Amino acid sequence: MLIPRSINPDNIPSHVAIIMDGNGRWAQAKGENRLFGHSNGVESVRETIKCARELEVSYLTLYAFSTENWSRPKEEIDGLMQLLVASIHSELALLMENNVRLATIGNLSLLPEDCRISLDEAVQKTAKNKDITLILALNYSSRDELMRAFNRMATDVLNGKLIPGKIGQKDLEKELDTASFPDPELLIRTSGEHRVSNFLLWQLAYAEMHFTNVYWPEFRRQHFMDAIIDFQSRERRFGKISEQVR
Ligand code: IPE
Ligand code: IPE
Ligand code: MG
């Protein structure tokens, strides 16, 4: 499909991160249970990957399950984990067809075994795909990621591999789950919530933020394109003054 004329193909964010929010409220508004909302969110994921790939976005990170989400009712957590396994199986062929590489961030060791196995398989199978990297944030929170990184760095201090007082930003970035990915340039959050909810706190330092009231299961091509148009309307100054970046 053609890129809309309102989008400048020379200014596409290389990494887009999305907080997919509002599944529960969308379902409840329809008199359905929350899991109905999560299941319907899969179509939005499909469509978003397709649009991102069309625009030649290189990395797409989707916040799928936070460390805080374990506090939800057990039934919802179990349903989400089952949906994850089912979706990996049902979508794998499409990921291959579209040359999508799957990657993850977050502490996967705490996910149910069948989830970990399915994820591992899909990550390995898609490892050589080159068009776009789809990064699923699973059992992820930024503070958890940072604490895991700090603990490994503390060990490196003991081993003499890091020297206190000489630790730089790159030393930390190497230890983050996102070590092999660039920082997101655009963050999208759906459902009208205007917060970061413990997502990529370090990596979003200079991201542009786009908020939309649309609930995730209703998120479609037009909404993704609107976010890109919004991104392109921003002047990214990185601390400088306007005249310096024009
Ligand atoms: C986002 O939708 C999906 C996950 C957090 C897993 P929610 O489930 O948070 O939906 P709302 O915010 O309650 O409507
Ligand atoms: C953030 O959404 C986490 C995911 C989208 C997976 P939440 O719905 O869990 O966040 P809060 O509770 O509204 O901050
Ligand atoms: Mg929510």
DSSP-derived letter for residue 191 is: T
Please tell me which residue in 33, 69, 98, 129 is annotated as part of the active site. Answer: 69
d(CA 229, CA 223): 10
Structure tokens at 165: 């007082």
Distance 197 CA to ligand 3 centre (A): 9
Please provide residue 209's backbone torsions phi and psi, each rounded to the nearest 5 degrees. -110, 130
Contact criterion met (CB below 8 Å) for 227 and 44: no
Helix (H, G, I), strand (E, B) or coil at 60: strand
Q: Provide φ and ψ at 65, rounded to 5°.
A: -160, 125
Task: Tell me the pTM.
Answer: 0.98
2 falls in which pLDDT band (50, 70, 90)?
A: confident
Phi and psi at 211, nearest 5°, equal -110, 135
CA of 49 to the centre of ligand 1 (A): 19
Question: What pLDDT, in 10s, does the model give residues 112-122?
Answer: 999 999 999 99
Ligand with an atom nearest the CA of residue 76: 1
Is residue 219 lining ligand 2, measured as CB closer than 6 Å?
no
Q: Domain residues of the chain, as ranges? A: 15-141+183-231
Is 156 among the residues known to form the active site?
no
Residues 163-219 have pLDDT tens digits of: 999 999 999 999 999 999 999 999 999 999 999 999 999 999 999 999 999 999 999
Task: State in Å: Cα 133 to ligand 3 middle.
Answer: 24
Atom number of ligand 2 nearest to Cα 137? 6
Answer yes or no: is the C-beta of 65 below 6 A from any ligand 2 atom.
Answer: yes
Using a CB cutoff of 8 Å and minimum separation of 24, what contacts does 148-156 make? 148/107, 148/175, 149/175, 149/176
Angle between helices 221-232 and 34-54 (to 10 degrees): 60
100-105 and 132-140 strand pairing = parallel
Cα within 13 Å of Cα(201), Cβ side: 11
CB 63 within 8 A of CB 140: yes
Residue 72 near ligand 1, beta carbon < 6 Å? no
Query: Each residue of 161-173: pLDDT tens digit?
Result: 999 999 999 999 9
Residue with CA nearest ligand 1 atom 13: 24
- Quick check: CB of 18 below 6 Å from ligand 2? no
Q: Helix (H, G, I), strand (E, B), or coil: what is residue 114?
A: helix
From the list 10, 11, 21, 99, the catalytic residue is 21
What are the strands, taking DSSP E only, across 42-84? 59-66
Token code pair at residue 178: 């996102």
120 catalytically annotated: no
CATH fold label, 15-141+183-231: Undecaprenyl pyrophosphate synthetase (3.40.1180)
What is the phi/psi pair of residue 221, to 5°?
A: -45, -50
Closest residue by Cα to residue 91 from 70, 71, 62, 66: 62
